[in-house]
Amino acid sequence: MEYSRAATATVLVVLALVSQAQAGVWPRSRPYNIAHRGASGFRPDHTAEGYQLAIDLGADFIECDVVLTKDLVPVCRHEPLVSGTTDADAKFPNLIKSIIIDGANYTGVFTTDLTLAEVKTLRCKQPIADRDQSFNGLFAIPTLEEYIAIAKRANRTIGIYPETKHPTWHDSLPIVKAAQTTMSDIVLNVLKKHGYKGPINSKAWSKQPVFIQSFEVGNLKYLSRKTCIPLVQLLSDWNTPIPDMPALNYSSIMSEAGVKDMATYASGVGPWKNTLVRAKAGANVTANGAALESTGLAERIRKNGMQAHPYTFRNEARYLTYGAFATAMDEFEFFFVKLGLEGAFTDYTGSLRQYFTMKSQEQGRLWNTGAVINRAGRPKPHNPKC
């Protein structure tokens, strides 16, 4: 599916006519619309232009995957490897190399071998081939601080949702060790500088909402001892090894005991959406969601007082869960009504905004939002101040 500049303009005009009454409002009466890497269905990932478009289309939060430069400046990129999302290979061919990160081999140019000045010469490109390629080569990589500035200058309250990417790997690098710091501390110091603080749903947090997310466990526990900012434990597929605990896979922390432990340091969980549902025994999974049931993970998350923000909701048919839904709207209906999510990551914030607007006109149960989403943060044993 391709989205042209004209199509984007049409969406913007339509959404401009839709009430923004619930966008950027705390406390909430509907779930969070979280822009996955910005408006990544329409623009290259993690660009200032993509973040702004996501806000224009109705996002409540914008996400920045944080990686470090050679001079330890946090910037927004999906991975330290930038070969697939920028023109780095053409501009810095002498820096192409192969390295192992969290057990996987990567080849190309990495942000950790580039200074911020060098990173700023790169231009971004759309990594998904059948999405609009006409913006390739136009946009630069934003720093974490530039991304924060976009959220803070919006005409309504926009939350930020930074992810620490491969923090254990980053911390192992000589440049980080020489500075006697950690990736987590570098990110946290930037957030503190810009006034982000407070437990979830506190007065301070509601003015400048923020979640810090990670696929690792150790750095979130470390952060929980240093800040009251709410943390989100990301989860990959059941059998995927946990990056900083490779002897264990994610299923080990999706159990009742694992989720209970998660609640001692996290305020939310970001699972891969396919781990929240499964096909009923002997059922036909192409029946537009009728053959799917909850795995129980969403219920365990809520039982332990945390929010569920699964990833990633996309409009293209090939990305709909198990191919079991006719449209993105049908998928939204299943996840938000049946599972009662508190938020979701999406490449198309306009579509999720359209769904929320449509549902607001209906009567009866819409979602479980009020039960957890507006709840004050629970005490964290890792940090009594919270």
**Domain holding 322: CATH number?**
3.20.20.190
Domain with 346 in it: 5-81+127-372
The answer as to whether 19 is a domain residue is: yes
Report the domain count for the chain: 1
- The two three-digit tokens of residue 12, written as one number: 């913007």
Whether 36 is a known active-site residue: answer yes
Give me the pLDDT at residue 19, please. Answer: 39
Classify burial at 25, counting beta carbons within 10 Å of its beta carbon; exposed 0-12, middle 13-18, buried 19 or more: middle
Give me the pLDDT at residue 290, please. Answer: 86
108: left (phi over 0), alpha (psi -120 to 50) or beta: left
The answer as to whether 89 is a domain residue is: no
Give me the pLDDT at residue 3, please. Answer: 41
The answer as to whether 107 is a domain residue is: no
The answer as to whether 184 is a domain residue is: yes
The answer as to whether 88 is a domain residue is: no
- DSSP code per residue over 257-272: HHHHHHTTT-SEEEEB
Whole-structure pTM value? 0.93
The answer as to whether 277 is a domain residue is: yes
Whether 78 is a known active-site residue: answer yes
**Between the CA atoms of 324, 326, 330 and 335, what dihedral angle is there, to the nearest 10 degrees?**
20
The answer as to whether 382 is a domain residue is: no
- The two three-digit tokens of residue 193, written as one number: 């500088």
The C-alpha angle with vertex 359 and arms to 375 and 63, in degrees rounded to 5, equals 55
Give me the pLDDT at residue 379, please. Answer: 79
Low-confidence residues in the chain, pLDDT < 50? 1-4, 7, 10-22
Given the residues 36, 46, 166, 309, the one annotated as active site: 36
Element (H, E) at 330: helix 328-332
On whether the CB atoms of residues 228 and 267 are closer than 8 A, the answer is no
On whether the CB atoms of residues 278 and 298 are closer than 8 A, the answer is no
What is the end-to-end Cα distance of the chain in Å, rounded?
A: 45
Give me the pLDDT at residue 364, please. Answer: 52
The answer as to whether 105 is a domain residue is: no
Give me the pLDDT at residue 64, please. Answer: 98
**C-alpha–C-alpha distance, residues 300 and 302, integer Å:** 5
Given the residues 46, 78, 170, 309, the one annotated as active site: 78
Q: How far from chain centre, in Å, is Cα 279?
A: 26
